[in-house]
Structure 1
Amino acid sequence: MTNSKLIRNIVVAIIAILSLGSCVDEEEYADNPRGNFEALWKIVDEHYCFFNYKKEQYGLDWNAVYDKYSRQIADDMTDNQLFEVLGNMLGELKDGHVNMYSSWDVARNWSWHENYPSNLSDTLINRYLSTDYRIASGMRYRILDDNIGYIRLQSFASSMGEGNLDEILYYLMPCNALIIDIRDNGGGLVTSAEQLAARFTNSTLLVGYMQHKTGRGHSDFSSMQEQRLKPSKGIRWQKRVAILTNRSVYSAANEFVKYMRCCPNVVQIGDRTGGGAGMPYSSELPIGWSIRFSACPMYDKDGNSTEFGIAPDYDVQLSQTDLLRGKDTIIEKAREVLRQ
């Protein structure tokens, strides 16, 4: 055999081996109802991070979920019918970070806030803010008539300017205490949540832990990695703080509450947060629908999951009587606690 033939045969053999390996490692699913169902169940099975926790909390059995929804798949079902079945299957995870996106709808599970009182009235918020409030970095803020500062922050979707935060805290510095109202804050950038929380500590704090998926098994995770909050180099608040929460506080906003509860002189008032303690992972089905779900679990400083929310120090609900009087029960409770 000549050298050229030998080289050609070696190359052909290598290509064959690589092709065989790719067939073993990567499963391909057909773009039909059965193929899309199998692909979705498998992707979630290998990457979702809360299977063990949710089995413990409410008995989730992902294999039983497969059996339940597999029986609902038919070759002649429409895309709308398939979307409904797959969306219902994802709903078994009871996770607000789990979504499936088609061109006409988003499959979601929002039971973490839809099944509870809102504990928020925009009309009342506007009464407290009046019309002469200031605005910076997505925050509306003013000084209330009892010399307590009030910040209304509805989202962490945008980054915050360090200069803006300096100006806000400098303006509120004469106040005796501070209220940060994040009710209905559905999250956004964890970096923004950390950036704001860094204004309320003078030392580096252990605020929680994170893990990463290391394999396809439900228990395949890295060791606990510490989350530490470092103090800002800008102006830092030194007085008492009340964080106002309801069930619609989720994801990065839930993380903000987790960070703030580690800071000195901070209390949480209102309802339990909605949770959302998993960093999301994205993928796609053969039909083209994109999916995302929790892949990296996060914990508080004591190693407890906050996936189902963080309980407040003072459990306060917005009362109908106060609503009719033009008073926000949760804000008023915060003012009372901060004046003590």
Structure 2
Amino acid sequence: MRKTEKINSYTLLYNIRCIFGKLCSAVCLLSTVLFTALSFASCVDEEEYDDTPKGNFEALWKIIDQRYCFFDYKKQEYGLDWNAVYAKYSAQVDKTMTEQQLFEVLGNMLGELRDGHVNMYSSFNSARYWSWHENYPKNFSDTLERKYLGTDYNFVSGLKYKKLDDNVGYVRCESFQSAIGNGNLDDMLLFLAPCNALIIDVRNNGGGQLTMAERFAARFTNRELLVGYMQHKTGTGHSDFSKLKEQKLKPSNGIRWQKRVYVLTNRSVYSAANEFVKYMKCCPQVIVIGDKTGGGAGMPFSSELPNGWSVRFSACPMYDKDKQSTEFGIEPDCNVGLGDADVARGVDSIIEFARSMAKQ
């Protein structure tokens, strides 16, 4: 064998050994990483519960105990004690219960949170807390809505709008579930541009997509605004949260409204609609009229019980620009109600109050 061939053979052998060594090192490193990950996972895995009445109760109580975001706030507001709730409802659970009986007990326990974002879903029922609006006057009439809108209104992406006979624009926004495009908003505001003022009626708007509420509100400011704060859960303790993170409302690149705006509210304004009102109160030339909103200032999160029932609950708290929680609603600038006598006369007193302000 020539000298050159020997050198090439040695070089080849050396390279093979190097590659093999690197592969061994990589395997060792991967094994270490996997072992560490598995060890960590075993530490953080949730405790498993049996699919029994007691097991499902324990699982639900612990999920809420570790992840719900308003314990401190609601303890301050009305004395909520989650450990006392455990003692109260655990005594009502036994192994002979039917599914319906268990559902009732668990639903009643969740009701102690007084939170419309807390729900439990089975194949036969949905547990919900609706007292945030059911215990208050409606301050809204479907019959009057049809009267004021008539049949000649424009309708797109969940928005109904028209020009009232006193040259005030009226927009009925009953949900943020549908996607509202920037083109839709441009066309609507261009159509309403000749009006002297604008009424945005969000009564009975139970929420939907937060991005849609933000997109709509961005049409009413010419500069970036601080509109609130948000936090995230960082641990299992009731007070384990991240630092407050600012919520900023940036002005839209599309058509922006420059005149007066009157936002109409009632107790059925909730979740993303509640946030919309929070944003609008920070915008110039905006006045909120009607009743206090229903609230719903927690971003919801979902989990599941051993028996397959799903549960939704508030996990990320949100605050207004003054760092105050809006979980239990936002007060209007002008508190105006709609009584039975008004409905009988065919007059929506909340709309008329806004129209009278627009004339001043």
TM-score class normalised by the smaller sequence: over 0.9
Amino acid at match of 2:142: D
- Counterpart mapping for 1:1-340 below 5 A: 18=38, 22=42, 25-340=45-360
Deviation at 1:158, TM superposition (A): 1.4
Amino acid at match of 2:141: S
User: How far does the alpha carbon of each residue in 1:278-333 deviate from its partner, in whole angstroms, 9 at most, with x for none?
Assistant: 00010000000000100000000000000000010111110222211111010001
Give the Cα separation in 1 of the matches to 2:168 and 2:44. Answer: 64
Give the Cα separation in 1 of the matches to 2:340 and 2:129. Answer: 28
Deviation at 1:24, TM superposition (A): 6.7
Deviation at 1:22, TM superposition (A): 1.6
Give the Cα separation in 1 of the matches to 2:283 and 2:36. Answer: 59
State the structure with more CA Rg. Answer: 2
Unaligned stretches of 5+ in structure 1?
Answer: 1-6
Give the Cα separation in 1 of the matches to 2:136 and 2:273. Answer: 18
Amino acid at match of 1:194: E
Deviation at 1:151, TM superposition (A): 0.4
User: How far does the alpha carbon of each residue in 1:103-143 deviate from its partner, in whole angstroms, 9 at most, with x for none?
Assistant: 11110000000001111111101111111111122111100
Give the Cα separation in 1 of the matches to 2:129 and 2:228. Answer: 26
Deviation at 1:25, TM superposition (A): 3.8
Amino acid at match of 1:284: E
- Give 3-state SS (helix, strand or coil) of 2:162's partner: strand
Give the Cα separation in 2 of the matches to 1:153 and 1:174. Answer: 20
Deviation larger for 158-167 or 48-57? 158-167
For normalisation by structure 1, the TM-score amounts to: 0.94
User: How far does the alpha carbon of each residue in 1:258-293 deviate from its partner, in whole angstroms, 9 at most, with x for none?
Assistant: 000000000000110000000001000000000010
1:175–1:69 CA distance, 2 compared to 1 (3 A): same
Give the Cα separation in 2 of the matches to 1:18 and 1:118. Answer: 54
Amino acid at match of 2:150: S
Unaligned stretches of 5+ in structure 2?
Answer: 1-26
Amino acid at match of 1:263: C
Could you list the structure 1 runs, at least 4 aligned residues long, displaced by more than 4 angstroms after superposition: 14-21
- Give 3-state SS (helix, strand or coil) of 1:164's partner: helix
Question: Paired residue for 2:19?
Answer: none
Amino acid at match of 1:144: L
Q: Count how many residue pairs are aligned between Structure 1 and Structure 2.
A: 331
